[in-house]
Amino acid sequence: MESFLIKGGVPLRGTVEISGSKNAALPIMAAALLTDEPCVIRRVPDLSDTRFMVQILQSLGAEVTFENGTVTVHAKKVRGYADYELVRKMRGSICIAGPLLARLRKARISLPGGCIIGARPINLHLKGFEALGAKIKIEGGYVDATAKKLSGSSLFLGGRAGPTVLGTANVMMAATLAAGVTVIESAACEPEVVDLADFLTAMGAKISGAGSPTITITGVKKLHGAEHEVIPDRIEAATFLIAAAATNGEVVLRGARADHLRAVIDKLDEAGVSVTRRGKNLVARRGGKLKPVDITTLPYAGFPTDVQAQMMALLALVPGISIITERIFESRFMHVSELARLGADIEIEGPSAIVKGGRPLSGAPVMASDLRASAALVIAGLAAKGATQVNRIYHLDRGYERMDEKLRKLGARIERVEEK
CA dist 200 and 223 (Å) reads 8
For CA atoms 120, 126, 131, 132, the dihedral sign is positive
179 bridge partner residues = 151
Cβ-based neighbour number of residue 262 at 10 Å: 13
CA dist 367 and 390 (Å) reads 6
315 bridge partner residues = none
CA dist 283 and 273 (Å) reads 10
229 burial (CB, 10 Å; 0-12 / 13-18 / 19+) is: middle
**Phi-psi sector, 318: left (phi>0), alpha (psi -120 to 50), beta:** beta
**AA letter at 39:** C
Residues 6+ apart with CB under 8 A from 211: 189, 191, 193, 194, 197
3 bridge partner residues = 391, 417
Alpha helices in 20-164 (DSSP H): 22-31, 48-59, 84-87, 97-104, 123-131
| Catalytic residue IDs | 115
